[in-house]
């Protein structure tokens, strides 16, 4: 059965190559190439079907524990639960590349099926571009990382999935990131299709917003799930370490966020056309760069695969695709002139542009810190690691500026904001934030960055609440609706705007959660049974150690009784595990999570002879709001994407000849008016 896998990949590669070539030929033939274009589209459908069969075959072999397949033997074992056997699909390099190719083919077919009916004129260009990218990944699967390679000697059991990956968050995290990375190929294809075809009106912009928001949504979820995994699985007390692979997922999210804001200006004002092309090219290339870092092994990371020969090929593809995109852009520069100019620095356009600059500043800072070890090694022969202090020092002020713009930009007027408009929009939010700042100061939230962040969070929340309140009040006055009905209809009539406000509120909550790190408490203690220690508002007593094992692993577990205000509230069990198929021990964190803070306990070590155990303990304030903020952002994105009410169909009225009337001019005017209404 697994012998069928390489044939499926070869056939998919041939269908993909045929699709690219025949689409290019059809495009070159113009009106006479319709049959060729249809054939190219059908070949794209065939390629997707074949890749789907290949993916299904790998899933089947993983589920059946077919250790004849080298990939299955390397990443699964008999005792591994089915849930994790299937997730091993993206646990290794070969499977994750097949997932990349399969998802890319799926996105291409989704675009094809949607726009084929709408007769989008740039569709052949879009499919050819996506199939061209797909051909590269199929080539990797055929010549560099074959997922269906067979073993001559079949082992009795497999090595098993890396224990660090055996967590629900890590099951969902990689496919979410892949959906984000791969999905960014679609808006790039729309932009390139506009450049190559010369159809540079705003049609591509109106189509591309949704296709950008979808992968941006998945990137957001992927980043948050990765942070959650790091928090509960790695046992160091935090959720973001500025690891190179973490940074690789953040960079396209930042530039993609800039693009989503920037295309609004092009839609409304016909400005920033070149800038938007540059942003979407940059975003996709950063997605490729993130994949390159993960798979090349050139930068050390807990998330990265081992060093392999795939790195140079990825590097060549990044350089080639970048050169192709830049060449297409340069060729069309004269046709990308802005229709309007920036009229005032106090306007929504100017704040959105400033927002873009801030986001790109953060992107460059993260990029430079990530690649600096490579640069230093190439120049001086010494790999200098850039740690969290650099990233925090550079990015915290940038992040605070971004948070302020989140509240300022959406409420300013287009073109120019008058003094009266500024007073109307910012008086109450400013008053509320001043009051909040006073309360924070006297509440002992005096760490500088945290104080500024929380004050800005209050300001942004006040602007969002004000926007909802004014919208509801306007509907109540004009439509005589009650508050709930007015809120629902306000949202359904302008989901894009109010969904964006919910996304902004999610960002506010994330900043609240991050601000709590300024007040983290930490302690490491070695205890004997019945001994205790205090940390913050918690009192923790060590009750003893338990040992155990099952078919897959052995473990040692600490029993810690947690008291709050003299009352026993929870017994927590931090663990150390040793899996039989892997030599490395893993940490299982024990958490007591509340709205105010998290008590985070780690079993750092134990001594059987002395009867002691060593624990690392953290109190992380406000961290729950970080996870809530991520889900609120996801909710806002979904609400901005999915229509809550049926859209009204616009009806084009055809002009008809009106018979000459012999009546008086006044009577003729009325008759024409009546005829138009009747029509």
Q: Which residue has the tokens 């120019």?
A: 416
Counting runs of H as helices and runs of E as strands, what totals does the chain give?
20, 10
Distance between CA atoms of 94 and 631, rounded to whole angstroms?
A: 31
Locate 207 and state its tokens. Answer: 């189509």
Q: Mean of the pLDDT values across residues 155-167?
A: 89
Distance between CA atoms of 11 and 328, rounded to whole angstroms?
A: 31
The pLDDT-based confidence of 301 (bands split at 50, 70, 90) is low
Q: Is 483 found in the same domain as 353?
A: no
Distance between CA atoms of 193 and 416, rounded to whole angstroms?
A: 34
- Residue 130, classed as helix, strand or coil, is helix
pLDDT at site 229: 94
Q: Is 414 found in the same domain as 349?
A: no
The separation between the first and the last C-alpha atoms of the chain, rounded to the nearest angstrom, is 65
- Residue at 83 is within a domain: yes
409-445 confidence digits (pLDDT tens): 888 887 787 888 888 899 999 999 999 999 999 988 8
- Residue 610, classed as helix, strand or coil, is coil
Question: Phi and psi at residue 376, in whole multiples of 5°?
Answer: -65, -35
- Considering only 115-119, 220-224, 634-638, 674-678, which range has the smallest mean pLDDT? 674-678
pLDDT at site 165: 87
Spell out the residues 6+ positions from residue 638 whose beta carbon is closer than 8 angstroms to its own.
217, 499
Distance between CA atoms of 201 and 270, rounded to whole angstroms?
A: 9
CB 460 within 8 A of CB 406: yes
Whether 676 has a pLDDT exceeding 50, the answer reads: no
Whether 114 has a pLDDT exceeding 50, the answer reads: yes
Distance between CA atoms of 387 and 622, rounded to whole angstroms?
A: 24
CA-nearest of 23, 2, 129 to 67 is 2
> Counting beta carbons within 10 angstroms of the beta carbon of residue 503, is it exposed (0 to 12), middle (13 to 18) or buried (19 or more)?
buried
Distance between CA atoms of 15 and 46, rounded to whole angstroms?
A: 7
Distance between CA atoms of 548 and 550, rounded to whole angstroms?
A: 7
Whether 584 has a pLDDT exceeding 80, the answer reads: no
Q: Is 370 found in the same domain as 246?
A: yes
- Residue at 655 is within a domain: no
- Cα torsion 285, 291, 293, 296 to 10°: value is -120
Distance between CA atoms of 623 and 634, rounded to whole angstroms?
A: 18
- Residue at 498 is within a domain: yes
Whether 534 has a pLDDT exceeding 60, the answer reads: yes
Whether 479 has a pLDDT exceeding 70, the answer reads: yes
Q: What is the DSSP string of 511-549?
A: HHHHHGGGG-EEEEEEE-TT-EEEETTEEEEEEEEEEEE
**Pairing state between β 521-527 and 532-535:** unpaired
CB 108 within 8 A of CB 102: no
Q: Is 268 found in the same domain as 119?
A: no
Helices (H), 234-243: none
Range of the domain at 502: 406-516
> Of the residues 490, 516, 542, which one is the last residue of a structural domain?
516
Q: Mean of the pLDDT values across residues 258-282?
A: 92
Whether 296 has a pLDDT exceeding 70, the answer reads: no
Measure Cα distances from 300 to 291, 369, 370, 383, 629 in Å.
Answer: 14, 14, 11, 11, 30
Q: Is 350 found in the same domain as 432?
A: no
Distance between CA atoms of 328 and 188, rounded to whole angstroms?
A: 12
- Residue at 580 is within a domain: yes
Q: Is 267 found in the same domain as 237?
A: yes
Q: Is 446 found in the same domain as 536?
A: no
> CB neighbours (10 Å) of residue 599?
25
Q: Is 385 found in the same domain as 237?
A: yes
- Residue 336, classed as helix, strand or coil, is coil
Spell out the residues 6+ positions from residue 481 whose beta carbon is closer than 8 angstroms to its own.
475, 489
365-388 confidence digits (pLDDT tens): 999 999 888 888 778 877 788 889
| Mean of per-residue pLDDT scores for the chain | 89
Q: Is 420 found in the same domain as 367?
A: no
Whether 262 has a pLDDT exceeding 80, the answer reads: yes
Q: Is 305 found in the same domain as 221?
A: yes
The pLDDT-based confidence of 669 (bands split at 50, 70, 90) is very low
CA-nearest of 520, 543, 522, 519 to 531 is 543
- Considering only 202-211, 317-326, 333-342, 471-480, which range has the smallest mean pLDDT? 333-342
Greatest alpha-carbon span in the chain: 115
Locate 475 and state its tokens. Answer: 């509907």
Q: Is 228 found in the same domain as 366?
A: yes
Count of alpha carbons within 13 angstroms of residue 153, beta-carbon side: 1
- Residue at 482 is within a domain: yes
- Cα torsion 224, 225, 226, 231 to 10°: value is 90
CA-nearest of 497, 524, 487, 506 to 604 is 524
Question: Phi and psi at residue 568, in whole multiples of 5°?
Answer: -70, 120
- Residue at 474 is within a domain: yes
CB 259 within 8 A of CB 188: no
Quote the radius of gyration of the chain (alpha carbons, Å). 29
Strands (E), 566-650: 567-572, 575-579, 585-588, 590-593, 597-607, 612-621
Spell out the residues 6+ positions from residue 665 whose beta carbon is closer than 8 angstroms to its own.
none
Q: Which residue has the tokens 């290794």?
A: 92
- Residue at 479 is within a domain: yes
> Of the residues 625, 640, 662, which one is the last residue of a structural domain?
625
Count of alpha carbons within 13 angstroms of residue 496, beta-carbon side: 7
Distance between CA atoms of 201 and 308, rounded to whole angstroms?
A: 44
CA-nearest of 292, 251, 259 to 278 is 259
> Of the residues 357, 380, 401, which one is the last residue of a structural domain?
401
- Residue at 171 is within a domain: no
Q: Is 492 found in the same domain as 567?
A: no
> CB neighbours (10 Å) of residue 470?
14
193-224 confidence digits (pLDDT tens): 999 999 988 788 888 999 999 999 999 999 99
Query: For the chain, what is the domain count?
Result: 4
């Amino acid at each position: 059965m697994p012998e069928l896998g390489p044939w499926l990949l070869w056939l998919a590669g041939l269908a993909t190559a045929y699709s690219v070539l025949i689409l290019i030929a059809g495009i070159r033939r113009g009106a006479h190439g319709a049959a060729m274009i249809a054939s190219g589209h059908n070949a794209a459908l065939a390629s997707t079907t074949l890749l789907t069969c290949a993916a299904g075959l790998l899933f089947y072999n993983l589920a059946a524990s077919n250790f004849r397949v080298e990939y299955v033997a390397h990443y699964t074992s008999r005792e591994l639960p089915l849930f994790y056997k299937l997730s091993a699909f993206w646990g290794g390099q070969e499977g994750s590349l097949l997932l990349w190719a399969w998802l890319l083919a799926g996105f291409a077919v989704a675009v094809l099926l949607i726009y084929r009916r709408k007769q989008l004129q740039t569709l052949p260009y879009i499919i050819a571009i996506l199939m061209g990218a797909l051909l590269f990944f199929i080539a990797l699967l055929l010549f560099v990382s074959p997922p269906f390679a067979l073993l001559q000697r079949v082992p009795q059991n497999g090595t098993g999935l890396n224990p660090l990956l055996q967590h629900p968050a890590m099951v969902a995290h990689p496919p979410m990131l892949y959906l984000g990375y791969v999905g960014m190929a679609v808006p790039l294809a729309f932009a390139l299709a506009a450049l190559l075809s010369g159809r540079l009106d705003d049609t591509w912009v109106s189509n591309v917003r949704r296709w950008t928001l979808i992968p941006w949504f998945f990137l957001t979820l992927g980043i948050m799930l990765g942070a959650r995994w790091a928090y509960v699985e790695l046992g160091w007390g935090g959720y973001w370490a500025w690891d190179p692979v973490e940074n690789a997922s953040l960079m396209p999210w930042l530039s993609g966020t800039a693009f989503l804001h920037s295309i609004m200006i092009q839609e409304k004002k016909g400005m920033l056309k070149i800038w938007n092309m540059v942003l979407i090219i940059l975003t996709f290339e950063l997605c490729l760069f993130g994949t390159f870092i993960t798979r090349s092994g050139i930068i050390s990371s807990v998330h990265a695969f081992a060093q392999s020969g795939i790195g140079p090929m990825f590097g060549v593809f990044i350089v080639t695709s970048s050169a192709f995109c830049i060449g297409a852009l340069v060729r069309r520069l004269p046709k990308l002139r802005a229709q309007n100019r920036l009229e005032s620095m106090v306007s929504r356009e100017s704040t959105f542009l400033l927002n873009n600059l801030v986001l790109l500043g953060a992107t460059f800072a993260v990029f430079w810190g990530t690649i600096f070890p490579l640069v230093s090694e190439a120049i001086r022969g010494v790999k200098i690691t850039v740690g969290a202090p650099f990233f925090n020092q550079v990015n915290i002020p940038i992040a605070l500026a971004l948070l302020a713009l989140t509240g300022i930009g959406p409420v300013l007027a287009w073109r120019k904001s008058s003094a009266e408009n500024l007073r109307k929009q910012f008086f109450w939010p400013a008053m509320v934030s001043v009051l909040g700042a006073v309360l924070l100061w006297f509440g002992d939230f005096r760490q500088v960055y945290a104080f500024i962040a929380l004050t800005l969070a209050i300001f942004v929340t006040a602007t969002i609440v004000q926007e909802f309140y004014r919208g509801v009040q306007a509907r109540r006055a004009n439509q005589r609706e009650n508050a709930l009905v007015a809120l629902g209809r306000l949202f359904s009539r302008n989901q894009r705007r109010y969904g964006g406000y919910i996304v902004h509120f999610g960002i506010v909550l994330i900043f609240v959660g991050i601000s709590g790190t300024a007040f983290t408490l930490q302690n490491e203690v070695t205890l004997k049974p019945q001994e205790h220690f205090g940390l913050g508002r918690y009192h923790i007593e060590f009750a003893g150690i338990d040992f155990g094992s099952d078919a897959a692993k052995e473990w040692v577990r600490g029993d810690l009784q947690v008291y709050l205000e003299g009352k026993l509230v929870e017994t927590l069990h931090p663990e150390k595990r040793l899996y039989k198929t892997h030599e490395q021990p893993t940490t299982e964190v024990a958490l007591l999570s509340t709205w105010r803070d998290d008590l985070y306990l780690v079993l750092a070590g134990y001594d059987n002879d002395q009867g002691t155990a060593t624990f690392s303990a953290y109190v992380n304030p406000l961290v729950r709001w970080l996870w809530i903020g991520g889900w609120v952002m996801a909710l806002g994105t979904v609400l901005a994407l999915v229509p809550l009410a049926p859209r009204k169909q616009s009806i084009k009225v055809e002009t008809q000849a009106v018979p000459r009337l012999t009546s008086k001019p006044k009577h003729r005017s009325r008759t024409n008016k009546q005829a138009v209404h009747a029509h």
